[in-house]
Amino acid sequence: MIGAVELTSEAGITYRQLHYWVRKGYVFPENRDEADGSGVPFEFSDHEAAIIRLMGLMCEHGHRPAEASWVARTAVDNKSVEVRIRDGFWVHLPAEMVHYGKKFKNRVDTV
């Protein structure tokens, strides 16, 4: 489990962005029922944290959160480093991020 403060720092996003992603259903904290609006910070599984890290990186490179969520979840769930997002467009992800990698500073290449 990882807390929201540490995760936002690692993913390069703000707590406000993370909270928005939770509200939109892009990511799922383990303690959503007790944390939402109560002053209790969100906590995330390693699986969900990997998705958030990928989303942060993809959004930093211009992808919209909805698309980033789908690509990140697909990549992490399938342990895939390439995800087709549209006809002729693939996202190539760093392998260490897809396999629940912790800290990273890498890039996302869209071919």
Q: What domains does the chain contain, in order, with CATH numbers?
A: 2-110 (1.10.1660)
Q: Which residues contact 11 (CB under 8 A, 6 or more apart)?
A: 18, 52, 53, 55, 56, 57
- Residue 18 burial by CB count (10 A; 0-12/13-18/19+): exposed, middle or buried? buried
User: pLDDT tens for residues 5-54?
Assistant: 999 998 899 999 999 999 999 999 987 666 555 667 789 999 999 899 88
Q: Are 84 and 102 in contact (CB under 8 A)?
A: no
pTM of the model: 0.75
